[in-house]
Chain A
Amino acid sequence: MSTSTPASQRTTTTTAAAVPAKRPFKFSRWFGATGWRHLVGIVMIVFSMFPLFYVLSASLNPNGTLLQSNGLFSSLGFDNYVTLFNNPQRPYAAWFINTLVIGLTTAAGTVFLGALAAYCFSRMRFVGRRFGLLSLVIVQIFPQLLAVVAIFLLLTTLGDIFPILGLDNQIALIMVYLGGALGVNTYLMYGFFNTVPSDLDEAAKLDGAGHARIFFTIILRLVAPILAVVGLLSFIATTSDFVISSVVLVTPERQTLAVGLYQFVSDEFTTNWGVFAAGAVLAALPVMALFLYLQKYIVSGLTAGAVK
């Protein structure tokens, strides 16, 4: 019933739009057409925003226990933020930098490796191309975190020989993450690369450009939106990974935010709450800012992957 009302009025409003100011404002009609949508919107905003408000309020509440955080914005102060950066046992600043470095390096590596492969699959015809594309999908079915035990033992072995590739080393972690660089990302990029007309390549080739020049100076610029999307998705996936990073990184100074902040609350859950909230706010801000800034690209990237 409810769905039929707005649609039947849609026809009337389209005519109304053509001849405006003729009909007086009627609340019931407005509510039936768009008003109820605003109601849904408000309910959903409360639902989606509330936890974010709560954590912001908790982070600003100087009485840092879980119970006292329940009074929303009852008292304000930056004590939790100060405490956060002055705890040598929980080096938040180091976690933050580690996360950024690991996340950005992995994202850059993923974008680069993925773009190389996508260019190859999109522009070249070679034996085993179909097989290659297919096996990329198949390999992706098995996420890396399922093999976490094997990764742990592999790094233990490698670490005995090359300490740089061993446990508790961030370079080792980045290399493990890069193992997942090809896959879904390549597929997403492959789809986008295909939309760039190959006439451009041909023209450049006739002008004497080699494959590398075409790739680096022509194609990469044209596919910038998908590079941003893949980079961001990879950054988000890396920074929120707990399983592999918690197994690989051992010393507190080398850990990432996900591992560190989890231990923050798992140790003394209720008393550390305010400090944890401060850490959460600071950790979330850059990601959320980046996300909102690149929102347009992400939305188009997500839908481009799905809707051809």
Chain B
Amino acid sequence: MQTSTQNSNESIPKVVESKRQKRAGRIAEHASGGVIALLIKIGMLAVVDAIAVYALFILFLKQDWVIFTVVLVITAAINIIYFKRGLLPLKYLAPGLVFLLLFQVFVIGYTAYISFTNYGTGHNSTKEDAVTSLIQSAQYRVPDSPTFDLAIVEQAGQFNFLVTDPDGDVTIGNTETPLTEVSNAEMSGGKAVSIPGYNTVNFTDIVANQDAIAAMTVQVSDDPNDGALRTPDGSSAYLYLSTLSFDEAADTMTNTETGVVYADTGNGAFTSEDGEEILPGWSVVVGVENYVTAFTDASIRGPLLSVTAWTFAFALLSVATTFILGLFLAIVFNDVRMRGRKFYRVLMILPYAFPSFLGALVWAGMLNKDFGFVNVALLSGAEIPWLTNEWLAKFSILFVNLWLGFPYMFLVCTGALQSIPDELQEAAKMDGANPWQIFRRIKFPLLLVSIAPLLIASFAFNFNNFNLIYMLTNGGPRDASAGINVGASDILISMVYKVAFSGADRDYGLASAFSIIIFLIVAIISIVSFRQTKALEDLN
């Protein structure tokens, strides 16, 4: 210690930098990097810039200005940070920050935005796309319409229709771009067969891609109401018109057969006067509707409340059980006189090394009601519904989590116990404390100071312990009365996943609203618990 202070004292006069020394420092800095380091740096920046320019080019073509700006700003920032002298901290932080901002901070904000929309099945695109797909889905072949001669040509993996209409005019188009007239096609027997820049798809390939080609609809013109061409066989196309017609000026969709007019009422779908919606619609901002639904719709509020309660119970009990068992084992095996402690320790922490999702799946098999090991072999054929009864499922989850989690607690408690100085114990013994008092009054409080942050972290982890729930019980048994797909042992995060990604009816908006609710709960818990830990630290 002393020598180092002396050293720094001596070096202080040197550190007071004159201009010359500063310059010398800079030169040293430069010289130390060497040419190779500089080349690596420039090379990496070149790669980043090349990718960025490519991305900007594509974005420019697609006219996606929002993302264009984002990419431009990020690229500019990176170049400034690495080419400008100084800004040293940013040079080290920037790579991680880019990912952090995009895939952690931005997505949280995006979740909040989605929670205010009706994004989900039937509402997952723009209005323009919805209009096109509505018109296409209601198409019928125009009776007695002329036959268009057709060749399928391919460019960059995309099929195009090369169409010769009855008048002999040649046009080309695909599912994204309507037909446009071309003049350079090669004709054969009055029919265009190929065109420079495209590969003509031969008969075998047409057969191989039959489904994809039969599903293609190529609009005749920019106006979807003009109809589209489709082909049953890849060699002739027919005109299809839609029973729905879109009136852009009035912003309405009219069914030409029944005459019903569907208007855009602002809820993301064309709706008739008597409230009938035609889907697909598009996603619109619906304000707090998802939150209102979550808290007022009885078939959702009920499950939401019970799931929240179980999430808290599950996380608390998981921490408590694993901690108690881990601490107990740490105390038991923290005795230097005991032989083979290492042996026991290695074998006991194996569940921690076993991937947790596999652990849950293996236990799901062992606890299976009809064929599982526990019922069949251990309990000789008892048919106990470990995973399908509401309360037994909850018990099983806690039990399996104990198996998965106690080794961790055992390890950290052992570490914490060993870091408590022996003198304290000696001193307490001198003062006449019995072992229980030593543990309760001295070791445990000290242990808690160092372990408390880990207990909070463990709580936070279990609060969102998706794998265990989803793999072990899949949230079951399902609550049939609920308006959403949710079960008795679901926790909040598995409910979010099921609402958003399971079944035919996906509701991203509602799922995001649930996510935001979890965000708020977690935030409140964290604030409170951080305060608590500070209070604990003051004890020390």
Contact = CB atoms under 8 A, between A and B. Distances in A.
Interface of A: 3-4, 6-8, 10, 13, 33-34, 37-38, 40-41, 44-45, 47-49, 51-52, 54-55, 58, 65-67, 69-71, 112-114, 116-117, 119-120, 124, 126, 129, 132, 138-139, 141-154, 158, 161-162, 175-176, 178-184, 186, 199, 202, 208-213, 215, 236, 239-240, 242-243, 246-247, 258, 261-262, 265-266, 269-270, 273, 276-277, 280, 283-284, 287-288, 291-292, 295, 299-300, 302-303, 305-308
Nearest to A157: B67
Contact of B361 (A34, A158, A182, A262): A262
Contacts of B436: 3-4
A208 B358 contact: no
Given A141-B523, A146-B515, A295 B55 contact: no
A211 B29 contact: yes
A132 B28 CA distance: 30
B347 A45 contact: yes
A273 B136 CA distance: 46
Interface stretch (B158-166, B215-223, B462-470): B462-470
Contacts of A145: 464, 466, 493
Given A4-B435, A41-B333, A147-B111, 18 more contacts: A47-B403, A52-B351, A54-B362, A119-B92, A126-B88, A141-B460, A143-B464, A144-B103, A144-B104, A146-B108, A161-B55, A176-B103, A210-B29, A211-B29, A213-B33, A242-B357, A265-B365, A303-B412
Interface of B: 4, 7, 11, 28-33, 37, 55, 58-59, 62, 64, 67, 88-89, 92-93, 95-97, 99-100, 102-108, 110-111, 114, 119, 329, 332-333, 335, 337-340, 344, 346-359, 361-366, 368, 370-373, 376-377, 403, 406-408, 411-412, 414-416, 419, 434-436, 439, 450-451, 453-454, 457, 460, 464, 466-467, 470-471, 474, 493, 496-497, 500-501, 508, 511-512, 515, 518-519, 522-523, 526
Contacts of B11: 202
Contact of A307 (B110, B356, B450, B508): B450
A233 to B, nearest CB: 11
Contact of A38 (B96, B338, B364, B370): B338
23 contacts: A7-B435, A45-B344, A49-B347, A58-B365, A70-B377, A126-B89, A129-B89, A138-B526, A142-B522, A143-B460, A143-B464, A145-B464, A147-B111, A148-B497, A148-B500, A149-B111, A152-B500, A182-B99, A211-B29, A236-B355, A276-B361, A276-B365, A307-B415
> Dominant SS at the B interface?
helix
A58 B518 CA distance: 39
Given A45-B347, A150-B110, A306-B454, A37 B333 contact: yes
Contacts of B29: 210-211
A240 B355 contact: yes
A280 B359 CA distance: 9
> Dominant SS at the A interface?
helix
Determine which residue in B106, B111, B346, B464 has the highest number of CB atoms from chain A within 10 A of its CB, and name it.
Answer: B111
B105 to A, nearest CB: 7
Contacts of B511: 149
Given A142-B522, A146-B515, A149-B512, A162 B371 contact: no
A40 B414 CA distance: 16
Contact of B96 (A3, A117, A138): A117
A42 to B, nearest CB: 8
Contact of B344 (A41, A70, A199, A292): A41
